[in-house]
Structure 1
Amino acid sequence: MHSYSWSRPAFGGGTESSRIITSVFGLSDDRFTAVPVLEDVIVPSTGITYVTGYSGAGKSKLLELFRSQHPEAHVPSGPADPADDRPLVELFDMPLQKTLSLLGQVGLGEAFTYLTPYNRLSDGQRARARLALAYSESRRLLVIDEFLSTLDRESARIAAYGFQRFCRRNGVSAVVATAHDDLVGALGPDLLIKLDYNGEKNVVQQPCLAAIPFEETVRIRPGSLADYEELARFHYMGGLDVPPDAFDIRVHVAEVSGKVAGVKVLSSPYPNAWQRFREFREVNEALTISRRTVVHPVFRSIGLAHRLCDPRLASRDHVYIRSALGRFQPFPLSAGYRSVEVADNRETELSAAVAELAVSVEAAGGPGKWPGDRAKATTLLRERGVELLVGEYVQYRELGGLMPLAHAELSRVRRWFTRCNDALSFEQLWEAARPFLMAGFIAGRETTGDAAAAGSTAMGREAGVSP
């Protein structure tokens, strides 16, 4: 490891004006000798080093000297062109799967953020994006001055925690400097260097024990749909896709220091009114569906999604999550879930036909502008909808640990779903049956059979009426 020393340069004489000032105030040459600012400060090139202290104490100079000795050190930055208006996801020269996984690791795992240009992100989001960009460019030694200094201190602590977690998981080292000294707990630096205004330094070697910010103030409590509405704008699917008054809805809230920071919405698989039929009552009593999990962007990366996915929050033994985001970031796995195949991802004759129809409909600008044969397309979508709903029902029974239905009983379920679809318009059928890939996760007792058949989420929900 290299040690760094630096003295502020002596006064060099200057112009006539400077000589007049020197004369007027009686300043002798010996008052302008070089002043030591940094003396034998050792900065390692591995781990995380946190430099803090008063303004003018030499923090920036120390980082400058460090970079001069380590040409491989990199200062994270955004796009070379400040006016670059491409979506964030397009700034990465790597496959989409890896890009989305990387963005998720730095706390930017959200559909709207993926499509937002860097120059329109918040300061906190930009800091996270710069870390992801640096890593994507194979940078493994970072130097950051004014580290998170422009953020409010609550956001800075959360961002610092996410920063150190990412660095330690991925073998990235960093030297960061800021006048703020409130990030020690969240950053958990391997080395803390405090520079005083009088030239003194205090170097503290400490273990890598970063503390989750605000962990002591996190509270999981029962909530309401009003709590979800506070954060619905941050979920890629927005509001609920089921009529809440028809289902058994349960909401859980993650509060941080009294603020709504995250929400989980759980529900029964089928409307309450359907429970007079044994086939649906059994499923509702065995399985809980996770409809929404959303965390406010400020509070991402401190484990709130993990807490909200705790299967013990559900009132039933088995909890099932379907998520488009889960295809790229399988966040439920860390909460004890296991992956299950979703049958929507499988190809059938009907799914292939609907996929072909989708190309035509989307090219026309949506179902409202599609000029094709609506009667024929409606029949196709209804058949596909029944296929999806029956597959979904079969999977629900499997995931809930229920015995398969006899052929006659399953035929009755199929007839009911057919009746439900008959009441839907072409546009409703299109929204329900169009291709939409999702990942599936289940928590609870081990299920039997091939827990793979799945289906549409929208068809049955449109029919929130009594059978």
Structure 2
Amino acid sequence: MRRTEPTTTVRTPALTPSAPTRRVCEAARMLGMNLDEHGSAPPIEARLPLRSGAVTLITGPSGAGKSTLLRAAAVAAREDGRRIIDPDSLRLRAAPIVDLFRAPLDESLRLLARAGLAEGRCFVRRPGELSDGQRRRLRLALAMHSAARRPSCPTMLVIDEFGAGLDGASARGVAAALRRAIDDSRNTGAIVATTRDDLAPALRPDCTIELDMTGAVRTNRRRESATDRFIIEPGSGADVKRLSHLHYRAARPARIVRTLIAREAQSGELAGAAVIAMPTLNAPWRRLAWPGRYDTGDKRLDARRMNDEIRRIARVIVDPRCRGVGLAARLVRAYLDDPLTPHTEAAAAMGRWHPFFERAGMTAYHTPPSERDARLLDALVHIGIEPWRLASPTTAWMRIEQSGAAALLHRELNRWANAAGSTRQHKADDPQHLFRIACAYAGATPVGYAHTSH
């Protein structure tokens, strides 16, 4: 026997029409209307699941009573002891978005990543510099953070005109991000109202209330199935080029051997790509992932084995409108299901906060800084340059010059550049330019990932 979900009856208040003014009567006479037959709209009654973990979608044309029903549902939820949060009413301070959360930095970055804002360029921007879709995601992240800070208090998100003003892909992305956030939460549900008819597959509501202009109410309490929004297929360099501006590292990866792309099933639009390339010579996590296999002491043997047995996932790029719904992990999993070699590896600076490689089945390896990076960082701290200052090389270099330690650091930079083949060519560069390169290497702490196919 199917279990019946507890619901609450929500009824909109009956409104007594005001007496028509003379101008109203004159307008009605010219249109041949009988005002006695056009009184107030009848009350709307519907049964909604006002519980944590449930999403209710109210749809219908403008004027059908969606907003009125939404307000009545909010009143019922509040009377049921729930805290009401309207994400669209949250005030956004004119500060970098990573500073908007009352949480440690790591937690703030994870919250943004879960909302589909896992991009370095987003973190440093202010709300006014984001797209409309990104601001909706930010408001969602802030609302969920507010709910999570009071875990013992059940919360209901109430959102009117959901998806209004967004293109199709952005609206579906925000809808999927909301569904994911509610599924991950222990104390939060959501009720949204919209005129759009394209959001149900992404939102997967537990209850859908359809209104029309006659006052009829249709209720569907069957949760939408998680139909696949994306199609994964082989891609080309042209596809990667179309998406490359969306990645913080715009340069094309070297020695590409395969490309996979994702398209939206509904629109056919390009949504993301995974770029597979040959391995680099140096990867500190290899000794942990495959002990003794690629560090035999015979450099030629090691290089031959790496080229024969390893491929690297060099880029995973997802259109911002489609982020936060697991697409990056799907692209990685699609490659791991049919790899070119027994071993696959990757590295991600965002790995600590956005572990999509792990969700795809790869194993994470958190390695300490290399010996050359550790020595350079130690020298910088010795002259008063904290590691966080490396995010702004120009300002950091000015402090170095003011400290009178530029000559000392130049020697350390030459030593640093000469310690690896990838940077040896830069050891004769202008010191400030070399310092800028070193900041990009030594400042980042990427997570390494490995996978073995059986």
Using the size of structure 2 for normalisation, the TM-score is: 0.77
Query: Which residue identity does 1:353 align to in structure 2?
Result: A
Q: Deviations over 1:359-396 (max 9, x none)?
A: 29868635599545665434323434455x4xxxxxxx
By how many angstroms is 1:205 displaced?
1.2
Aligned partners of 1:419 and 1:142: how far apart in 2? 55
By how many angstroms is 1:304 displaced?
2.7
Query: What's 2:195 paired with?
Result: 179
Query: What's 2:262 paired with?
Result: 255
Distance 1:276 1:67, change over 3 A: closer
Aligned partners of 1:24 and 1:78: how far apart in 2? 41
Query: Which residue identity does 1:4 align to in structure 2?
Result: V
By how many angstroms is 1:58 displaced?
1.1
Matches within 5 A, 1:438-453: 438-445=445-452
By how many angstroms is 1:196 displaced?
1.9
By how many angstroms is 1:149 displaced?
2.5
Matches within 5 A, 1:18-417: 18=24, 30-31=36-37, 33-38=39-44, 40-46=45-51, 47-71=54-78, 72-77=83-88, 79-80=90-91, 84-138=93-147, 140-171=155-186, 172-207=188-223, 209-213=225-229, 215=230, 218-224=231-237, 226-240=238-252, 244=254, 248-257=255-264, 258-270=268-280, 277-309=300-332, 310-311=335-336, 314-344=339-369, 348-349=374-375, 351-356=377-382, 359=385, 365=395, 371=401, 372=404, 376-385=408-417, 389=420
Using the size of structure 1 for normalisation, the TM-score is: 0.75
Aligned partners of 1:263 and 1:357: how far apart in 2? 43
Query: Which residue identity does 2:168 align to in structure 1?
Result: R
Counterpart contact for 1:162–1:302, Cα < 8 Å? yes
Aligned partners of 2:256 and 2:28: how far apart in 1? 79
Counterpart contact for 2:96–2:126, Cα < 8 Å? yes
**Identity within the alignment, %:** 27
Q: Deviations over 1:249-276 (max 9, x none)?
A: 23413131554432333333348xxx99
Counterpart contact for 2:417–2:427, Cα < 8 Å? no
Distance 1:73 1:369, change over 3 A: closer
By how many angstroms is 1:206 displaced?
0.6
Query: Which residue identity does 1:265 align to in structure 2?
Result: V
Aligned partners of 2:162 and 2:227: how far apart in 1? 18
Query: Which residue identity does 1:320 align to in structure 2?
Result: E
Aligned partners of 2:355 and 2:302: how far apart in 1? 31
Distance 1:120 1:256, change over 3 A: same
Computing the radius of gyration from Cα coordinates, the structure with the larger value is: 1
- The SS at the match of 2:340 is coil
Deviates more, 1:50-59 or 1:430-439: 430-439
Query: Which residue identity does 2:249 align to in structure 1?
Result: M
Aligned partners of 2:355 and 2:343: how far apart in 1? 18
Query: Which residue identity does 2:232 align to in structure 1?
Result: R
Aligned partners of 2:446 and 2:216: how far apart in 1? 56
Distance 1:384 1:37, change over 3 A: same
- The SS at the match of 1:182 is coil
Query: What's 1:395 paired with?
Result: none
Aligned partners of 1:431 and 1:373: how far apart in 2? 16
Deviates more, 1:103-112 or 1:276-285: 276-285
By how many angstroms is 1:152 displaced?
2.0
Deviates more, 1:281-290 or 1:61-70: 281-290
By how many angstroms is 1:185 displaced?
1.8
Counterpart contact for 1:50–1:193, Cα < 8 Å? yes
Q: Deviations over 1:207-233 (max 9, x none)?
A: 3533342x3xx2331422x43332232
Aligned length, in residue pairs: 404
Counterpart contact for 2:97–2:127, Cα < 8 Å? yes
Query: Which residue identity does 1:383 align to in structure 2?
Result: R
Query: What's 1:13 paired with?
Result: 19
- The SS at the match of 2:395 is coil
Aligned partners of 1:341 and 1:300: how far apart in 2? 25
Cα RMSD for the two superposed structures: 3.5
Counterpart contact for 1:332–1:441, Cα < 8 Å? no
Aligned partners of 1:114 and 1:160: how far apart in 2? 22
By how many angstroms is 1:61 displaced?
0.5
Aligned partners of 1:358 and 1:235: how far apart in 2? 32
Distance 1:431 1:293, change over 3 A: farther
By how many angstroms is 1:51 displaced?
0.8
By how many angstroms is 1:290 displaced?
3.2
Where structure 1 has 5 or more consecutive residues not aligned to the other structure, the ranges are 390-415, 447-467
Query: Which residue identity does 1:264 align to in structure 2?
Result: A
- The SS at the match of 1:344 is coil
- The SS at the match of 1:109 is coil
Where structure 2 has 5 or more consecutive residues not aligned to the other structure, the ranges are 1-6, 149-154, 282-297
Distance 1:14 1:238, change over 3 A: same
Q: Deviations over 1:7-45 (max 9, x none)?
A: 66344324444566678899878535544141x312221
